[in-house]
């Protein structure tokens, strides 16, 4: 028995070493790209799609001849919605698999968990999801929206076009909604909204019993002023929330809900009939009508072999980030981290909403902001968009701690939190 | 005398004739005008469309109702070549065109040749107000009621004259009540004398409800000094009345949450409570039940769309069978080797739960699946000052029905007798000729099957995703332990107590803190009474 076991062990070791050797050998004629998205656990619902999107982008690029004359090779790992595991898997990607760049993370807590790894090993992370801001790191490129590219324009829209005077800020209880709501609260107060006209409400992840909260919202909305809900509710909790809204008869014409985390993918699990007119703010909608987007949707549906498969905003962020990385590597002529970090700033690539996005010195990108209303077919229809592109503002101007901070990763400043009041690098977030 | 009458008659006839001729002429011109106005709905921005809708509403012509309804639904399109506006219906890959005014079909057109007239919330509101004015004279009571409600929500002084005429002719009590309230609301925003307004405030206060509160609050902002006390008193009166209803509403929400907990826990009350197996895969049985519902609805959608309202009734037995069989397989394949080793059972069933989750994720994908509500489970009705949603009400009824069924099964059938015998004294039961291994297997299958039908109900209010079960497993264990292990009644009382407790804490403490408080209270309670609310006495406890 023990001999047999030892033999199997040896055999296994042999197989492992050959594959490891093979891997090392193959590394010479391919450029490796790491994909760090949860494929199991609670976040799999959102992140699996991004993994597939990355695989598609890499496959498409290889069809075009790869990069620097080499083929691209995707290395997929599964951090299983487990935040510390994100750091371990990131370390594995960079030091074992020797990837040139990593595309990944969804929740802010997973991003925070991998930051030290990327800093220590000096590698590159592309982060594709809208987030709360208050961060700019040398090794990270933020291709999702900062609060001023999503939350603030949405509130402006509701104020100007719907005449909203009373606000419910409802969110899931974690860092992104809390910071965003703090920024929004400060912003609304700066616009003259009284404290009693703002109601803030937090719920746990996966909250499923929305009866009390929806009835509270109805009550809050019956004070004779136009009321709207700004929702930073995340993930699974959205479906029961919208179902309850529909059942209790909260119509978009009376109390519109504008959401920052509800996209085409989330609506796929819902009958959107009763939700028509509720809003979402994003930088991209699948319904955006232009040739680049049509091509992207066609390729995506062919890649997934599903002609009903929807696209969403974080996918577009990966599309932009990936193309920016390709361009920067070509510009630098190497995948060496420092060279690529330098080459990235100022790179400009087409986005899918019909314009160009540029990487700014603060490692955030320029994007248009779109406000869309939910339609019966589960798509959004753009009802408003910013006239031009909006530059991502990493340090919010509406929070006392961060209003003096800026980030600029160009030489000679090279600082993620430069305080313009004191003229020194460092401060909050250092 | 006679001659004069005839003269008067002729005069009338002449006037009538003249009126008819002018009406006919204006009618023809109006039709052309209407057509032009409807066509002008397209092509502009939202503000322009809004002005057009208002202009259309001013004509007061009921012929524009279908066009406005279609615009609100997003079914109004403009032909790119000549700018004509049509109502469209999908016909294959093309659109079927319907004339916006006459309702006649006007051929088909490729989708690319038409442009949708966009609509947003502001435009929808304008349309709703316009339709309210136009449909107030409709012969159907339901339509009139809806129209009256619309005017109530958008009161304006302009509507007063129209309302007075309609009120004089209205016979239906319900519509009359809403109309009177709408009239009072319109009086409040008009510049009529204070006395009339006071009467209006009284009318609004009398009918009560949340919309009244909203009307009075907005009236208060612009009210005259002499009117202020009246409105303030009215608001206070309504708020007092509502506070009472709010308590009732809270109890209802608590019962509803309790019924969900009961459904999730009742299967566990059998596997854990009666058999003593710590089954971590219980939540996944609920999830499998929900996916069975999804598959059934999927088949119905593609093959038998007429049966959609029956989908849940069809899914119930199927879910019971599917999860029952899976439960049986788990018991025969894994658990029977682990009786008496709770730690290993816990680990093994936890492994099973991960396998089931990932299997479902691989087969159906990680995203949510859409499970629709049948029409009888959608919407809500008002009971006094409470809003009761149909789906929650049916779930309460259903959970109690499942409970009664289980109680009957355990107390009144031979199978239940055997189950109880085996759990109370295994060796004695065995020596009386009961095949204990099979009773174990069937009991476990029953518990799993009940979890499956709970999944059918939960698919109506929650996400159908591979993670569905995880959200319920902890709560289920808490309910069973709190209620008293091995006692079905304990599970019932435990579920409803926790539900109501949770809902009474939530408004004060918030959802997050409320949940924590409930957990703390349970920990304290278990310290005091380790066996839960209804402790089981007898040999089973010692075994």
Kindly provide the ipTM of the predicted complex, given to two decimals. Answer: 0.80
- Smallest CA–CA distance, residue B227 to chain A, in Å, is 17
**A21 pLDDT higher than 60:** no
Q: Which residues 277-296 of chain A have a CB within 8 Å of chain B? A: 277, 279
Token pair in block for residue A368: 């248009």
pLDDT level of residue A24 (50, 70, 90 thresholds): very low
User: Chain A, 100-139: which have a CB under 8 Å from a chain B CB?
Assistant: none
The listed CATH number (3.30.390.50, 3.40.50.2300, 3.40.1350.10, 3.40.190.10) that belongs to domain A148-289+370-391: 3.40.50.2300
In this model, does residue A5 exceed pLDDT 70? no
Q: B407 CA to chain A: closest CA distance, Å?
A: 27
- Structural tokens at position B508: 């004060």
User: Closest Cα partner for B369 from B287, B274, B489?
Assistant: B287
Question: Exposed, middle or buried by CB within 10 Å (0-12, 13-18, 19+), for A190?
Answer: exposed
Judge whether residue B26 has pLDDT over 90. Answer: no
Mean pLDDT over B45-74 rounds to 83
Which helix (H) or strand (E) segment holds residue B160: the answer is: helix B159-169
Find all residues with CB under 8 Å of A140, minimum gap 6, and list them: A111, A115, A118, A124, A125, A126, A127, A363
Q: Does A244 touch chain B (CB under 8 A)?
A: yes
Residue of B nearest to A41 (CA): B467
The H or E element that residue B522 is part of is helix B488-528
Could you count the other beta carbons within 10 Å of the beta carbon of residue A332? 18
Q: Which of A320-329, B70-79, B409-418, B519-528 has the lowest mean pLDDT?
A: B70-79
- Pairwise CA distance, residues A175 & A109, whole Å: 8
Is pLDDT at A3 greater than 80 in this prediction?
A: no
Partner-chain contact B372 A271, CB within 8 Å: yes
Highest mean pLDDT among A119-128, B12-21, B151-160, B164-173 belongs to: A119-128
Q: What is the pLDDT of residue B14?
A: 65
In this structure, is the dihedral angle defined by the CA atoms of residues B445, B447, B450 and B452, taken in order, positive or negative?
A: negative
Distance of CA B16 to the CA centre of its chain: 54
**Per-residue model confidence as pLDDT tens digits over B212-228:** 777 788 777 777 777 88
Q: How far is residue B281 CA from its own chain's centroid?
A: 30
> Which of A38, A106, A208 to probe the B interface (max B CBs under 10 A)?
A208
Q: What would the pLDDT profile of A196-222 be if each residue is shown by its tens digit? A: 999 999 998 888 889 999 999 998 988
- Residue A10 scores a pLDDT above 50: no
Please tell me the predicted confidence (pLDDT) of residue B375: 87
In the sheet with A30-36, reading across from the earlier edge strand, the strands are A71-77, A30-36, A101-104, A125-127, A140-142
Q: What is the mean pLDDT of residues A369-386?
A: 91
In order of A19, A58, A72, A80, B471, the CA distances from A89 in angstroms are 19, 20, 20, 10, 26
Q: Which range (A39-53, A58-72, B134-148, B355-369) has the least confidence? A: B134-148
Residue A429 has pLDDT above 50, yes or no: no
Q: Does A203 touch chain B (CB under 8 A)?
A: yes
Mean pLDDT within B174-183:
82
Domains A2-146+297-366 and A148-289+370-391 share a fold: yes
Ordered strands of the B105-110 beta sheet:
B105-110, B94-99, B85-91, B76-79, B114-116
Task: Report the run of H or E that residue B90 belongs to, with start and end.
Answer: strand B85-91
- How far apart are the C-alpha atoms of B443 and B418, rounded to whole Å? 10
Interfacial A residues in 22-41 facing B (CB < 8 Å):
39-41
Helices B436-458 and B282-303, interaxial angle, to 10°? 60
Confidence bin at B507 (pLDDT 50/70/90): confident
Query: Residue A140 pairs with which residues in a beta bridge?
Result: A125
Residue A124: per-residue pLDDT: 96
Statement: residue A186 has pLDDT above 70: yes
Inter-axis angle of helices B414-424 and B436-458, to 10 degrees?
Answer: 110
pLDDT band at A295 (very low <50, low <70, confident <90, very high): very high
Please judge whether B391 and A247 are an interchain contact, meaning their C-beta atoms are less than 8 angstroms apart.
yes
* DSSP code at position B466: T
Find chain B residues with C-beta within 8 A of A254's C-beta.
153
Q: Work out the pLDDT band at B453, boundaries 50, 70, 90.
A: very high
Nearest beta carbon to residue B380 from set A40, A249, A254: A249
Share of chain B above pLDDT 70, in %: 93
| Chain A interface mutation, best of B368, B386, B514, highest count of A Cβ atoms under 10 Å | B368
Instruction: Select from A136, A165, A162, A131 the least CA-distant residue to A148.
Output: A131
What's the confidence (pLDDT) of residue B19?
60
Give the mutation candidate from B130, B286, B362, B461 for the A interface (greatest A CB count, under 10 A).
B461
CB B201 within 8 A of CB B227: yes
Residue B132's closest CA among B112, B106, B158, B98? B158
Chain A residues touching B367 at Cβ < 8 A: 45, 48-49, 265, 268-269
CB contact under 8 A, B467 and A45: yes
- Please report which confidence band the pLDDT of residue A427 belongs to, taking 50, 70 and 90 as the band edges: low
In this predicted structure, what is the pLDDT of residue B289?
96
User: Nearest C-alpha of chain A: how many angstroms from B202?
Assistant: 18
Please judge whether A213 and B121 are an interchain contact, meaning their C-beta atoms are less than 8 angstroms apart: no
Eight-state DSSP code of residue B42: S
Give the predicted TM-score (pTM) of the model. Answer: 0.83
The domain ranges of chain A are 2-146+297-366, 148-289+370-391
Pairing of strands A279-282, A257-259: parallel
The reply to whether A78 touches chain B by the CB within 8 Å rule is no
Longest dimension (CA), chain B: 116
A45 touches chain B (CB under 8 A): yes
pLDDT of A428 above 70: no
pLDDT at B130 over 70: yes
Output the 3-class SS for chain A. CHHHHHHHHHHHHHHHHHHHHHHHHHCCCEEEEEEECCCCCCCHHHHHHHHHHHHHHHHHHHHCCCECCEEEEEEEECCCCCHHHHHHHHHHHHHHCCCCEEEECCCHHHHHHHHHHHHHHCCCEEECCCCCCCCCCCCEEECCCCHHHCHHHHHHHHHHHHCCCEEEEEEECCHHHHHHHHHHHHHHHHCCCCHHHEEEEEECCCCCCCHHHHHHHHHHCCCCCCEEEEEECCHHHHHHHHHHHHHCCCCCCCCCEEECCCCHHHHCCCCCHHHCCCEEEECCCCCCCCHHHHHHHHHHHHHCCCCCCCCCHHHHHHHHHHHHHHHHHHHHCCCCHHHHHHHHCCCEEECCCCCEEEECCCCEEEECCEEEEECCCCCEEEEEECCCCEECCCCCCCCCCCCCEEEECCCCCCEEEEECCCCEECCCCC
Q: Say which residue, A326 or A7, is predicted with more confidence.
A: A326
**pLDDT of A1:** 42
Nearest beta carbon to residue B121 from set A211, A252, A274 = A252
**Crossing angle of helices B311-333/B282-303, nearest 10°?**
140
Supply φ then ψ for residue A200, to 5 degrees: -115, 135
Min CA distance, A288 vs chain B (Å)? 14
Q: Between chains, do A247 and B256 touch, taking CB under 8 Å as contact?
A: no
Residues A387-408: tens digit of each pLDDT: 889 999 999 989 888 888 889 9
DSSP 8-state symbol, B269:
I
pLDDT of A156 reads: 94
Q: What is the pLDDT of residues A304-313, one digit of tens each?
A: 998 888 999 9
CB atoms A212 and B250 under 8 Å = yes
| Model confidence at A360: pLDDT above 90 | yes
- Residues in chain B within 8 Å Cβ distance of A315: none
Distance, in Å, from the CA atom of B289 to the CA atom of A86, rounded to the nearest integer, reads 32
**Nearest in space to B525 (alpha carbons), one of B536, B512, B510, B535:** B535
Q: What is the mean pLDDT of residues B172-179?
A: 81
Q: Which residues, in sequence order, are bridge partners of residue B464?
A: B369
- Closest CB to B366 among A45, A203, A277: A45
Task: Please give the pLDDT value at position B2.
Answer: 65
> Given pLDDT bands bounded at 50, 70 and 90, which one contains residue A2?
very low
What is the share, in percent, of chain B residues with pLDDT greater than 90?
30
> What does pLDDT average to over chain B?
85
- Using a CB-CB cut-off of 8 Å, the residues of chain B touching A40 are 357-358, 361
Q: Which tokens is B360 given?
A: 């479902």
CA distance B155 to chain A (A): 12
pLDDT, position A284: 95
- How much is the average pLDDT of B183-198? 80
pLDDT (tens digit, 9 = 90+) per residue, A163-175?
Answer: 999 999 999 988 8
Under 8 Å CB pairs connecting chains A and B tally to 154
* Residue in B125, B390, B461 closest to A208 by CB: B461
Separation of alpha carbons B214 and B136, rounded Å: 23
Q: Which residue has the tokens 């005449």?
A: A163
Please determine, for residue A29, whether its predicted confidence score (pLDDT) is greater than 60. yes
Query: How many other C-beta atoms can be found within 10 angstroms of the C-beta atom of residue A271?
Result: 17
Give pLDDT, residue A18: 41
* B532 band by pLDDT with thresholds 50, 70 and 90: confident
Question: Is residue B486 scored above 80 in pLDDT?
Answer: no
Which residue in the set A41, A212, A253 is minimally distant from B128, CB to CB?
A253
Average pLDDT for B171-179:
81
Q: Is the confidence at residue A260, as pLDDT, over 70?
A: yes
Collapsed DSSP state (helix, strand, coil) of residue B380: strand
- The pLDDT value recorded for residue B178 is 82
Contact B145, B175 (CB under 8 A): yes
Q: Nearest Cβ partner of B463 from A203, A219, A240?
A: A240
- Quickly tell me which residue has 């019924």 as its tokens: B259
Q: Per-residue pLDDT for B202 more than 90?
A: no
Lowest mean pLDDT, pick from A125-134, B299-308, B315-324: B299-308
Domain A2-146+297-366 is classified in which CATH homologous superfamily? Response regulator (3.40.50.2300)
What pLDDT score was predicted for residue B216?
82
Once rounded to an integer, what is the mean pLDDT over residues A28-45?
87
pLDDT score at A19 = 43
Cβ contact (<8 Å) for A254 and B153? yes
Shortest CA gap A134–chain B (Å): 25
Residues of B in contact with A213 (CB under 8 A): 511
- Cβ pair A158, A258 in contact under 8 A: yes
Who has greater pLDDT, A77 or B461? A77
Testing the interface with B: which of A42, A43, A45 to mutate, by most B Cβ within 10 A? A45
Residues in A touching B128 (Cβ below 8 Å): 253
pLDDT at A140: 96
Q: Are B116 and B60 in contact (CB under 8 A)?
A: no
Among the partner residues A218, A268, A276, nearest to B210 by beta-carbon distance: A218
The reported pLDDT for the residue numbered A333 is 93
Q: What percent of chain A has pLDDT over 70?
A: 93
Residues sharing a CB contact under 8 Å with residue B51, sequence separation 6 or more, in sequence order:
none
pLDDT at A93 over 70: yes
Residues of chain A with Cβ-Cβ distance to B390 below 8 Å are: 247
């Amino acid at each position: 028995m023990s001999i047999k076991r030892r033999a199997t062990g040896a055999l296994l070791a042999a197989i492992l070493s050959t594959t490891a050797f093979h891997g090392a050998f193959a590394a010479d004629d391919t450029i490796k790209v790491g994909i760090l998205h949860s494929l199991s656990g609670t976040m799999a619902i959102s992140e699996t799609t991004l993994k597939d999107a990355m695989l598609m982008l890499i496959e498409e690029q290889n069809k075009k001849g790869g990069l620097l004359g080499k083929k691209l090779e995707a290395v997929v790992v599964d951090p299983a919605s487990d935040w510390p595991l994100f750091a371990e898997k990131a370390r594995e990607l960079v030091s074992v698999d020797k990837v040139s760049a990593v595309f990944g993370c969804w929740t802010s807590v997973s991003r925070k968990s991998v930051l030290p790894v990327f800093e220590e090993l000096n590698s590159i992370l592309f982060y594709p999801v809208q987030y709360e801001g208050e961060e700019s790191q040398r090794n990270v490129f933020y291709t999702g929206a900062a609060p001023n590219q999503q939350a603030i324009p949405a509130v402006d829209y509701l104020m100007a076009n719907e005449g909203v005077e009373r606000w419910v800020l409802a969110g899931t209880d974690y860092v992104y909604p809390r910071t965003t709501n703090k920024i929004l609260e400060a912003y609304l107060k700066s616009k003259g909204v009284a404290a009693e006209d703002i109601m803030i409400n937090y719920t746990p992840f996966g909250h499923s019993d929305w009866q009390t909260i929806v009835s509270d919202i109805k009550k809050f909305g019956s004070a004779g002023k136009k009321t709207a809900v700004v929702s930073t509710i995340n993930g699974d909790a959205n479906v029961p929330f919208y179902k309850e809204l529909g059942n209790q008869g909260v119509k978009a014409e009376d109390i519109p809900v504008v959401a920052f985390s509800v996209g085409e993918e989330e609506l796929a699990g819902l009958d959107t009939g009763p939700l028509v007119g509720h809003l979402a703010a994003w930088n991209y909608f699948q319904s955006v009508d232009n040739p680049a987007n049509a091509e992207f949707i066609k390729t995506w549906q062919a890649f997934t072999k599903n002609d009903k498969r929807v696209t969403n905003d974080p996918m577009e962020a990966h599309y932009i980030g990936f193309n920016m990385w390709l361009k920067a590597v070509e510009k630098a002529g190497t995948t060496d981290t420092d060279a690529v970090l330098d080459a990235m700033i100022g790179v400009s690539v087409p986005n899918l909403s019909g314009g160009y996005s540029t990487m700014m010195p603060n490692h955030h990108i320029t994007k248009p902001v779109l406000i869309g209303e939910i339609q019966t077919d589960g798509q959004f229809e753009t009802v408003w968009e910013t006239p031009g592109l909006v530059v991502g503002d990493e340090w919010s101007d509406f929070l006392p701690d961060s209003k003096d901070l800026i980030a600029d990763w160009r030489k000679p400043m090279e600082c993620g939190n430069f305080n313009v009041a004191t003229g020194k690098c460092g401060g909050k977030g250092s | 005398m006679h001659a004069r009458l005839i003269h008067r008659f002729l005069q009338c006839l002449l006037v009538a004739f003249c009126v008819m001729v002018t009406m006919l002429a204006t009618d023809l011109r109006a039709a052309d005008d209407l057509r032009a106005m409807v066509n002008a709905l397209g092509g502009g921005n939202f503000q322009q469309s809004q002005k057009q809708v208002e202009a259309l509403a001013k004509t007061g012509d009921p012929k524009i109702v279908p066009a406005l309804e279609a615009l609100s639904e997003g079914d109004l399109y403009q032909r790119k070549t000549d700018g004509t506006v049509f109502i469209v219906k999908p016909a294959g890959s093309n659109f079927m065109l319907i004339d916006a005014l006459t309702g006649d079909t006007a051929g088909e057109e490729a989708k690319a040749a038409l442009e949708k007239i966009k609509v947003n919330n502001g435009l929808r509101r304008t349309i709703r107000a316009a339709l309210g004015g136009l449909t107030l004279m409709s012969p159907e009571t339901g339509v009139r009621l809806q129209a009256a409600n619309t005017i109530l929500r958008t009161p304006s002084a302009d509507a007063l004259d129209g309302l007075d005429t309609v009120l004089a002719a209205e016979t239906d009590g319900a519509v009359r009540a809403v109309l009177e309230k709408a009239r009072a609301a319109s009086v409040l925003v008009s510049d009529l004398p204070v006395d009339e307004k006071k009467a209006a405030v009284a009318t609004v206060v009398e009918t009560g409800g949340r919309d009244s509160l909203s009307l009075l609050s907005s009236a208060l902002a612009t009210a005259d000094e002499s009117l202020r006390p009246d409105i303030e008193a009215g608001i206070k009166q309504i708020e007092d009345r509502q506070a009472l209803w709010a308590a009732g509403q809270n109890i209802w929400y608590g019962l509803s949450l309790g019924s969900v907990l009961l459904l999730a826990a009742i299967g566990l009350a059998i596997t854990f409570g009666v058999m003593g197996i710590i089954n971590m895969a219980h939540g996944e049985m609920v999830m499998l039940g929900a996916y069975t519902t999804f598959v059934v609805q999927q088949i119905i959608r593609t093959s038998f769309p007429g049966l959609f309202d029956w989908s849940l009734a069809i899914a119930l037995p199927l879910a019971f069978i599917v999860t029952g069989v899976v439960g049986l397989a788990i018991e025969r394949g894994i658990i029977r080797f682990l009786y008496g080793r709770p730690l290993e059972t816990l680990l093994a069933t936890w492994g099973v739960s991960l396998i089931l989750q990932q299997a479902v994720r691989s087969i159906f994908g990680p995203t949510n699946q859409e499970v629709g509500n049948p029409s009888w489970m959608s919407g809500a009705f008002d009971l006094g000052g409470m809003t009761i949603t149909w789906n929650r009400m049916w779930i309460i009824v259903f959970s109690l029905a499942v409970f009664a069924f289980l109680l009957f099964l355990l107390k009144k059938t031979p199978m239940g007798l055997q189950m109880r015998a085996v759990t109370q004294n295994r060796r004695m039961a065995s020596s009386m000729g009961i095949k204990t291994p099979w009773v174990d297997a069937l009991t476990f299958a029953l518990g799993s099957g009940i979890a499956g039908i709970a999944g059918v109900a939960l698919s109506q209010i929650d996400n159908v995703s591979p993670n569905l079960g995880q959200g319920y497993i902890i709560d289920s264990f808490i309910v069973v332990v709190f209620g008293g292990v091995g006692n079905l009644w304990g599970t019932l009382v435990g579920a409803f107590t926790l539900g109501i407790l949770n809902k009474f804490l939530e408004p004060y403490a918030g959802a997050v803190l409320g949940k924590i408080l409930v957990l703390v209270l349970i920990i304290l309670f278990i310290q005091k009474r380790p066996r839960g609310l209804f402790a089981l006495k007898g040999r089973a406890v010692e075994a």
